[in-house]
Structure 1
Amino acid sequence: MNDSAPPGTTAGRPATAPPALDEKTASKVAIGALVGNALEWYDFFLFTTAAALVFNVQYFVSDDAVTSALASFATLAVGFIARPLGGLLFGRMGDRVGRRTTLLVTIVLIGVTTGLIGLLPNFFTIGLAAPVLLTLLRVVQGLALGGEWSGAIIIAVEHAPPAKRGRFAALPQIGSPIGTLMSSGAFVLVSLLSQDTFDSWGWRLPFLAAIPLLLVGLFIRTQLEESPEFTRLLENNEVAHAPISTVLRESWRQVLAGAAVAFLGMGGFYLVTTFVISYGTRILELDSTLLLIGTLSAATVEIGVIVVAGRLTEAFGASRVVVVGGLATALAAFPVFWLIETANPLLVVLGMTLGVAGLSFPYGACGTALAGLFRPQLRYSGVAIASNGAAMLSGCVPLIATAVFAASGDQIWTAAALFVTIALITVAGGLLTPRLSIAEAGVTRR
């Protein structure tokens, strides 16, 4: 059976009917995907926070603080640049071998890599080898995460009853704010150590904790069942033989629209958290603990918003939630950064929280939107390519924001304008999605 064969048919015999889907199984799988996803995001976000607080002074040593920050954020960006390669690799594996097996591989890869970062000597110990090795480990992290997010969303969607896919697609998305809470919370705890202790070895503890967390995540992942849709594809000999080339040839418009839809939830998040942490410590001279608390507050609110966004997706459609959430974020962008610019602790936390709350509506809906853009034979590859294309651009956002901010003479309006631009790109993606979707997966049209 070639890639273009009609769904539900095989050569010479009727296709096997898809198995019945029930909420109990869907809940079990979605929670399993959520927990594993949260642990992977914890590993990935540790690097994000450390890039703003640690790596710029311990691995990218320079007399100029801006140069060190740019170098550190460049390494952060490298992980995101590697994600599309991981999307190609694990997207093909997910469509050829299976969703479950691929998710087992990604969690092992990123957990081991994160633990090794915690053991890596700094520049003062091994010289230039330190930033080089750190960059290589970041690349491996990016490759692994390139197949993680898409796989977690897809295995949840494909186990869910069609009418309730919005809530189950949103559930693994909560792994992102939970990972943020865990990673930022870990750094808040170690920041309570003396500065000398933190600089010497305290910052390494959250990275080393990835090893026992890996064992937990691996156990949970082994309990997941393979997706019913992929099982049907296997039984009916409908597995795509060349999913990557087929997606790029037949579904490139869907890839571009999907990347635009996902951009705000990823790029906007790093602007309001990673860039703001760097801006707050360097320019506003705020305590890093305050900014980490701001990140914790934002992530806590994000959990609730994602849940609401999932339900709204079922009622109104993923594209509408994406568009309205993107427009609301664009309108709030300048007020968000004006609040942060005040350097008032309460207003800084409020600004970070409002910024993340707005972008969390499109983020909560984008899993449903992206899954609906691709047929099952190509879904893992398509979602992986689209989401990781957005991730690659998102990883460059703190670097771009820092460079433009410095070039403007430290004018905060440049960050707000970038936030508006990212939001409007996502709005455009949301407007295109209904025309390109195979269906607004599980949505009740009104």
Structure 2
Amino acid sequence: MSSTPSPTTPPDAVAADADREYQANLRRATLSSSVGSALEYFDFAMYGLMTALVFNQLFFDQSNPAMALIAAFGVYGVGFAARPIGGLVFGLLGDKVGRRFVLVTTIVLMGGSSMLIGVLPTYESVGALAPALLVVLRLAQGFGAGAEQAGSTVLMAEYAPVKRRGFFSALPFVGIQAGTLLAGLAFSALTLLPEEQFLSWGWRLPFLASVVLILVALWIRAKLEETPTFVHLEKREQTAERPLRDIFTKGLPGVVTGIGLRMAENGGSYLFQSVSLAFVTSAAIGLDRGSVAWGVTLGSLIGVFSVPLTGAISDKVGRVPVYRFGAVFMLVYSFPAWWMLSLGSTGLSIAVVAIGIGVAVNSMLGPQCAMLPELFGNRHRYLGVAMARELSAVLAGGLAGVLGASLMAWTDGNWIVLGLYMATLAAITTASTFLVPETRGRDLLRTEDAIRLSTTEKDSAYEAEAAVVPGSGAADETSSPARA
């Protein structure tokens, strides 16, 4: 990763140069991952907001508004269905040819699809072709997004210093909060437009603006170097020849556990971001759409601080205790949250959504950023993280909109049923935290998965830290030391 020093170069100067190069790459990796996360979640949060309040009106037959809403959330779920396929395809590439190539490809595919949504014709203009085109672009968007977050997660975990891996791995996920925050602000601003202008052209602007984030992300990622752990594999010719076989023979326990860990975090996120807005703006409750969307904005603002904070705390006390706190919090919060939403108070609804996103969801997201990469061995880490993230995205996030809208229609907006749905997701994740071993400080050069190890087994990452690959937790004579 660095140029060969002259034989006469003092050792201290070589170490200083290597350290400066590592710090520069760490900054690039953080910025690259953050921008990609911001783009993905800006698009997905904006799509969720538009699904409940715009797409159901513009892209579907209005003879049955309830079915139009369900159909709109169905297309929303289509994007999640494509994510595991994208995670599989790009995860294989990420473990065979490297993380950087995949991250450049996915940002173009994901961002380009989002931008094209902004120029789609509506149902009134072209009939059934409108939802068909929306489905195609939503599939492409989900296909690219399927590896984007997994890539960002793996990239930062493999670059981050061992003792602060939780904190550094969480930093790019501030991009998630920034993207969601930006989507909430943009949507709230657009709702100030007259209804006719908003539905005519105002909703298109955020999707067209995706091109700016695409260009910024490409510029940063063009300068990004490959991660130290993948370089370690390449040097020793240990890159996976059959990562797909490995993940289904050796890595399946980690994937299943990772899915369980994500059910409350991912499903809860989309329930608060989209289904709650559809619930409180329904005819039975009748709150203003723009006002309640501020709950998403405020929750994302809280997340800017709570995600890196919980990541840092997990460096001190471990990933599992912090993750379990978030899952239990959501479990306890589920029924009171939906009851308060049903009361029809704008201020209370904003607070409920903000706490749900900012505290319940993000207390799990913070430690998750390092925890998922630490669960998998080096040879199939990208694919393992992608499968755990994206299969859970279908089962939790993708179904959240369709099932949530269906439950609202079937029960006439019964808050107890929606609370039970969220509590079920939280219970699954809480149980999963008792199945996963503690992974804090794990050596990322190890090829076996953590889930196969005894929960009492200790990694030697801290003891070996004097001579490790930055962020890997393993010794390598060619690398600069990890920084505490």
TM-score, with length taken from structure 2: 0.85
Q: Tell me how far apart the structure 2 counterparts of residues 308 and 47 of structure 1 sit (CA, whole Å).
A: 28
Counterpart for residue 303 of structure 1: 304
3-state DSSP class of the match of 2:293?
Answer: helix
Instruction: Report if aligned partners of 2:45, 2:273 keep a CA contact under 8 Å in 1.
Output: no
Q: Is the 8 A contact 1:22 1:160 kept in 2?
A: no
The aligned residue for residue 10 of structure 1 is none
Residue aligning to 1:137? 137
Aligned-residue offset at 1:298: 1.1
Deviations 1:364-383 (A, max 9, x none): 11122211111111000000
Rounded to whole Å, the distance in 2 between the matches of 1:36 and 1:273 is 20
Deviations along 1:354-410, whole A, 9 cap, x unmatched?
A: 211212111111122211111111000000000001111111112112212322232
Q: Provide Cα deviations, 1:108-138, integer angstroms capped at 9, x if missing partner.
A: 1111111111001001111111000100100
Structure with a larger share of its residues in helix: 1
CA 1:294–1:437: 2 relative to 1, 3 Å: farther
The 5-angstrom pairing of residues 89-238 of structure 1 reads 89-238=89-238
C-alpha spacing 1:396/1:321, structure 2 compared with 1 (3 Å): same
What's the counterpart of residue 55 of structure 1? Answer: 55
- Is the partner of 2:435 in helix, strand or coil? helix
Identify the match of residue 403 of structure 1 among 406, 430, 433.
406
| Distance change (3 Å), C-alpha of 1:210 and 1:379 | same
Name the CA distance, whole Å, in 2 between partners of 1:261 and 1:444.
26
Task: Name 1:345's counterpart in structure 2.
Answer: 346
**Shift of residue 28 of structure 1?**
3.9
Contact 2:25 2:224 in 1 (8 A): no
Deviation of 1:213 after TM superposition, in Å, equals 2.2
Name the SS for the 2:434 alignment partner.
helix
**CA-to-aligned-CA distance 1:39-82 (integer Å, 9 cap, x gap):** 22212322221111111000012322211110000000000011
1:436 alignment partner AA: I
Q: Specify the alignment match of 1:328 in structure 2.
A: 329
Change over 3 Å in CA distance of 1:319–1:443 after alignment to 2: farther
- Distance in 2 (alpha carbons) for counterparts of 1:244 and 1:183: 36
Give the C-alpha shift of residue 36 in structure 1: 2.2
User: How far 1:290 sits from its partner (Å)?
Assistant: 0.9
Q: Judge conservation of contact 1:181–1:296 (CA < 8 Å) in 2.
A: yes
CA deviation after TM superposition for structure 1 residue 27, in Å: 4.0
Partner of 2:315: 314
Report what 1:358 is aligned to.
360
Give CA-to-partner distance per residue, 1:83-132, whole Å, 9 cap, x none: 00011011011101111110000101111111111001001111111000
Deviation sequence 1:243-283 (CA, Å, 0-9, x none): 12210111111100011112222110111120011112113
TM-score (norm 1): 0.92
Distance 1:200 1:124 in 2: 11
Q: Which runs of 4+ in 1 moved over 3 A?
A: 19-25, 437-445
Larger radius of gyration: 2
Equivalent pair of 1:73/1:399 in contact (CA under 8 Å): yes
Measured against aligned partners, the alpha-carbon deviations of 1:292-347 in whole angstroms (never above 9, x if no partner) come to 11110111112211111101111121122111210111111112122212211111
Shift of 1:31: 2.8
For residues 227 and 442 of structure 1, do their structure 2 counterparts lie closer, same or farther at Cα, with a shift above 3 Å needed? farther
C-alpha distance 441-219 of structure 1, shift in aligned 2 (>3 A): farther
One-letter amino acid matched to 1:417: L
Q: Supply the distance in 2 between the matched residues of 1:49 and 1:160 (Cα, whole angstroms).
A: 34
Q: How far, CA to CA, are the matches of 1:115 and 1:82 in structure 2?
A: 18
Distance 2:352 2:51 in 1: 22
Tell me, which stretches of 5 or more residues in structure 1 are unaligned? 1-18
Q: Cα deviations across residues 198-240 of structure 1 (Å, max 9, x unaligned)?
A: 1111110111111122111211222322101111111110100
Equivalent residue for 2:424, pick from 414, 421, 426: 421
Equivalents in 2 of 1:104, 1:300: separation in Å?
Answer: 28
What displacement does 1:437 show?
Answer: 6.3
Give 3-state SS (helix, strand or coil) of 1:372's partner: helix
For the Cα contact (< 8 Å) 1:163–1:314, is it kept in 2? yes
Residue aligning to 2:442:
none
**1:11 alignment counterpart:** none
Which sits farther off after the overlay, 380-389 or 278-287?
Answer: 278-287
Q: Equivalents in 2 of 1:441, 1:141: separation in Å?
A: 39
CA contact 2:35–2:213 (8 Å) conserved in 1: no
1:68 pairs with 2:68? yes
The residue that corresponds to 2:433 in the other structure is: 430
The secondary structure found in structure 2 opposite 1:154 is: helix
Q: Check the 8 A contact 1:373/1:437 in 2, yes or no.
A: no
Asked if the contact 1:56/1:71 (under 8 Å) is kept, the reply is yes
User: What letter is aligned with 2:425?
Assistant: I
- Residues 442 and 400 of structure 1: is their aligned pair in 2 closer, same or farther, counting only changes over 3 Å? farther
More displaced stretch, 334-343 vs 436-445:
436-445
Q: How many aligned residue pairs are there? A: 427
CA separation in 1, counterparts of 2:405 and 2:336?
19
CA distance in 1, matches of 2:188, 2:394: 28
Residues 270, 397 of structure 1: 8 Å contact kept:
yes
Give the fraction of aligned pairs with identical amino acids, expressed as a percent. Answer: 32
What secondary structure does 1:193 align onto? coil
Give the Cα–Cα distance (whole angstroms) in 1 for the partners of residues 461 and 142 of structure 2: 32
Tell me how far apart the structure 2 counterparts of residues 303 and 146 of structure 1 sit (CA, whole Å): 23
State the alpha-carbon separation in 2 of the partners of residues 203 and 152 from structure 1. Answer: 29
Contact 1:170 1:310 in 2 (8 A): yes
| 2:335 maps to amino acid | F
- Give the aligned CA root-mean-square deviation in angstroms: 2.0
Structure 2 stretches of 5 or more lacking a match? 1-17, 438-449, 464-484
Alpha carbons 1:305, 1:361 under 8 Å: kept: yes
CA gap 1:361/1:307 in 2 versus in 1, 3 angstroms:
same
How far, CA to CA, are the matches of 1:444 and 1:262 in structure 2?
28
1:79 is matched with 79
Q: Is the 8 A contact 1:106 1:148 kept in 2?
A: yes
Could you tell me how far apart the structure 1 residues matched to 2:343 and 2:461 are? 42
**In structure 1, what is the Cα distance between the partners aligned to 2:458 and 2:219?**
33
Taking a change above 3 Å as real, the CA distance of residues 293 and 187 of structure 1, as seen in their structure-2 partners, is same
Q: Conserved in 2, the CA contact under 8 Å of 1:371 and 1:441? A: no
